[in-house]
Structures are given as structure tokens and as C-alpha cells.
Amino acid sequence: MATVAVQSFVSAPLQVPKVTQFKIGICQLKVTTEKSANIFNARSMIQAAAEQGASLILLPEMWNCPYSTDLFAKFAEDFSDIDSAPSLLMLSEVASSLGVTIIGGSIPEKDAGQLYNSCPVFGPNGELKAKHRKIHLFDMGKPLPGEVQFKESDNISAGEKPTVVDTDCGRIGIGICHDIRFPELAMSYSARGAHLVCYPGAFNMSTGATLWELEQRTRAVDNQVIPCYFMMIVLYVFMWYLAPCCEAC
């Protein structure tokens, strides 16, 4: 019988940051077609969360623009030039002025002629610590009667790399919306010592309401981490319900 050598997924013990006690602020935004208004509203909600003691503050998916494939290019920003990117510049400035870590939901990113659905992470010094590009794009199947067809891949390119970032609040894995439906991503974050996995999302009542809670519970029990999903229900750990959105904001 042939002998098969199995290589461990983690070849050596990871140096994992100490778990700390902290408060999370989750911002739910009403997005408009006015980019400047969206930025102003996001800044105001981040400040309000910090005033209530939050040291880790989270924004939703595509918070600076309507979630529409024909608008992404208009609202997109270049992550390599933050001074010319109003949404990113605001996040950098407010993170620094308030001394908080911001998981910046996602905004459209433009890079080398491509568009991405990208989540920036800013540290308390205003530095861009990480960027996650949405890996699993949401291409809606045949819509139900009266519903609109949506295919993110029409003009968004998929990311290729998982994102783990060490912050003052611990080690955090990042996914975006549809990424939560794929267990391998959360498994890789758990194996890398993540304490928290954040999924900014933009599901609506027709594309995911029945699955939101199930997916969070599943990722929590599979990996023994806290998934933080910025939709109707957030914060699960070990299958125990912690808070609905209205109480967590």
C-alpha cells in the first residue's frame, strides 16, 4: 500500500495577538446618489460610535454609492492615491483624529483599468493597514417575477487573496457580503488565528434574508470565531446570539 504524506495546513505555531476587550460600533447607512452626502453621513456615524466608546468601527458594503453596477465606475477611488480619494481620505482622517480602528465596509476601487469591490482597514494612526478585494462576486440567478437581475461580475473583477490584519483589537479576517457563503475563507482565517471575521454586506430582502442568520451561525460554529456581519443580525459566537442590528449600532 502506498504511503501518502500529508502536509499540515499550518506548518508552525502562529504568533497571535492577545485578545482584548473592546466595544464594536456598527454603522448602518442610508446611501444616496450624492457621494459627498454619503461621506458626511459615514463620518457622523463613525464619530457617534466613537463617542459611545467603540474602538473598532465598521461600515457596510458599498457605503459611498448606490449598489448598482452602472454606478460603480463613477464612484470608484484609487487606493494608491488616498489624498485624491475623498472616501478613503475621510476614513484615514477620522481614524487618526478619534484614535480608532475602522473596517471601512467597501467602496468601488479602480486599479489598472479594473474595478474591484474593496474593503479598506485603517488603524488609529490613520494608516491604511490592509485592503480586501471581494473574492466571491454576487451573480444573481434568474430573478423571481418582479425582481431585478443583478450580476456583479458585469463590471467588477474578483479579488484573489484572503485578508488577515493585526489591529489593536486583535487579529481580524475580512470578507465581503457573498464571501460569507464560502466556508473555506473563514476556515483559513481561523487557522491563521483570527479572533473576529468581518463581513460588510448589502444583501436585501429578496437575495438573502433567510440565510443571513444561518450563515453567521454556521461560520461561528465551524471555526469558533465571531462573525460580524453588518446587516440585520450581527455578532455570533459559538452559536450563541449576541445582538440584533438595532441593539449593536
Q: Which CATH number fits domain 24-248: 3.30.9.10, 3.60.110.10, 3.65.10.10, 1.10.357.20?
A: 3.60.110.10
- Asked whether the predicted pLDDT for residue 102 surpasses 90, the reply is yes
Q: What is the mean pLDDT of residues 45-67?
A: 95
- Residue 126 pLDDT level (bands cut at 50, 70, 90): very high
Over residues 61-77, mean pLDDT: 94
Average pLDDT over residues 120-138: 97
Q: Which residue of the set 35, 110, 131, 134 is catalytic?
A: 134
- Specify the range with the lowest mean pLDDT, choosing from 25-34, 107-116, 197-206: 197-206
- CB-based contacts of 147-152 (< 8 A; 24+ apart in sequence): 147/206, 150/69, 150/207, 151/69, 152/69, 152/117
Question: In the annotation, is 177 catalytic?
Answer: yes
Catalytic choice (35, 61, 77, 131):
61
| More confident call, 88 vs 196 | 88
Domain boundaries, the chain: 24-248
pLDDT exceeds 90 at position 153: no
Model confidence pLDDT, tens digit, residues 236-248: 333 333 344 444 3
What is the rounded distance in angstroms from the CA atom of residue 106 to the CA atom of residue 89?
Answer: 14
Report the chain's mean pLDDT, rounded to a whole number: 81
d(CA 244, CA 109): 30
Interval 4-52: pLDDT, tens: 333 333 444 456 666 668 899 999 888 999 999 999 999 999 999 999 9
Number of Cβ atoms within 10 Å of the Cβ of 13? 7
In the set 177, 198, 215, 228, the catalytic residue is 177
Residue 24 C-alpha cell reads as 464594536
Q: Read off the pTM.
A: 0.80
